[in-house]
Amino acid sequence: MEKIITIENLRDFAYCNDKICRKPVKGIVLSFFGLGGCTMFNEDTEDGKMYAEKGIILLVPYQNPWAWMNKQTVDYTDELIDVLFDAYNLPENTPVVSTGGSMGGLSALVYTAYAKRTPVSCVANCPVCDLPYHYTERPDLPRTLYSAFGTYEGTMDQALRSASPLHIVDIMPKSSAYYIFHCEEDKAVNKQMHSDRFVKELERAHKVSYYAVPERGHCDLTEEMRALYTKCVTDSILGVE
C-alpha cells in the first residue's frame, strides 16, 4: 500500500505535540489509550504542553479502541514513529518511552517486545498483564479480545498469550527499564492476578520498579504517585536531575 500517514496529516491518526515542542527534540513519549479510548484531540493537551516545554514529543496513537496491542497496532505505532523520525531527522538513538494505563498499560508493555525501535523504558498504570486470565475476568472483555485476535492463526489462547506481558517476559527487552504502578483497590484489573504475578517474573532478569497505590481504584493514582509516574517518564529521557 502507498504511504498514507505523513507529517502533514499525522494529527488525523494520532495526537502529537510536535508543532509546539521545543527543539531540538530530546525524546518521544508514547501514551496508549485504555479499552474503548477513542478521543480525538483538537487542541494541545496539558500533558502535551508540559512535555513540549521539556523538548519531548508526546504521541497518542488513535488505534482501534479494542486493539489490545495486536500485530496491526504494533505496525501502526511503528509507522507513526517513523513519520516523526523522518520529519525531524531524529538520530536513531533518540529515546522512546512507552506508557499507558489498563489496556494501555498492557499495550505499553507488549510494545517493548515488538517495537521497531525498542523503548528505553515503559511506565504502566494498572496494566493488564495476564491476557488469557483477563478474558475470563469480566463479561465485557471476550468480544473485545475476539475483535483484536480473532483472525490470528492457531488457537485463541495462543493468540492471547502472544500479547500477554506475563507470557512474553522472556522476549521483553532487558535493555528497557520498567516502572509498574497498580492501585490496591482495583476492581477492573485485579492487582494480585496481574501486576503482582508479572513483576515477580519480570524482576528475575529485568530492571523493574513496582509501586503499589493504597486505597485507590482502577488507574486512580494519588497526586503524589501521578507526579512520580511523570518523573519516571521524563527521567528516562532527560536523565535524573
Tell me the CATH number at 149: 3.40.50.1820
What parts of the chain have a pLDDT lower than 70? 240-241
Given this model, what pLDDT does residue 31 score? Answer: 98
Given this model, what pLDDT does residue 3 score? Answer: 87
Given this model, what pLDDT does residue 143 score? Answer: 98
Q: Would 210 be classed as within a structural domain?
A: yes
Q: Would 62 be classed as within a structural domain?
A: yes
Q: Would 2 be classed as within a structural domain?
A: no
Q: Would 224 be classed as within a structural domain?
A: yes
Given this model, what pLDDT does residue 215 score? Answer: 96
Q: Would 3 be classed as within a structural domain?
A: no
Residues near 61 by beta carbon (within 8 Å), at least 6 away in sequence: 13, 14, 30, 32, 33, 73, 76, 77, 80
Q: Would 205 be classed as within a structural domain?
A: yes
Q: Would 28 be classed as within a structural domain?
A: yes
Residues near 48 by beta carbon (within 8 Å), at least 6 away in sequence: 15, 17, 20, 41, 58
pTM: 0.97
Given this model, what pLDDT does residue 224 score? Answer: 98
Given this model, what pLDDT does residue 240 score? Answer: 60
Provide the residue range defining the domain that includes 186. 10-238
Q: Would 4 be classed as within a structural domain?
A: no
Cell of 156: 485463541
The structural domain count of the chain equals: 1
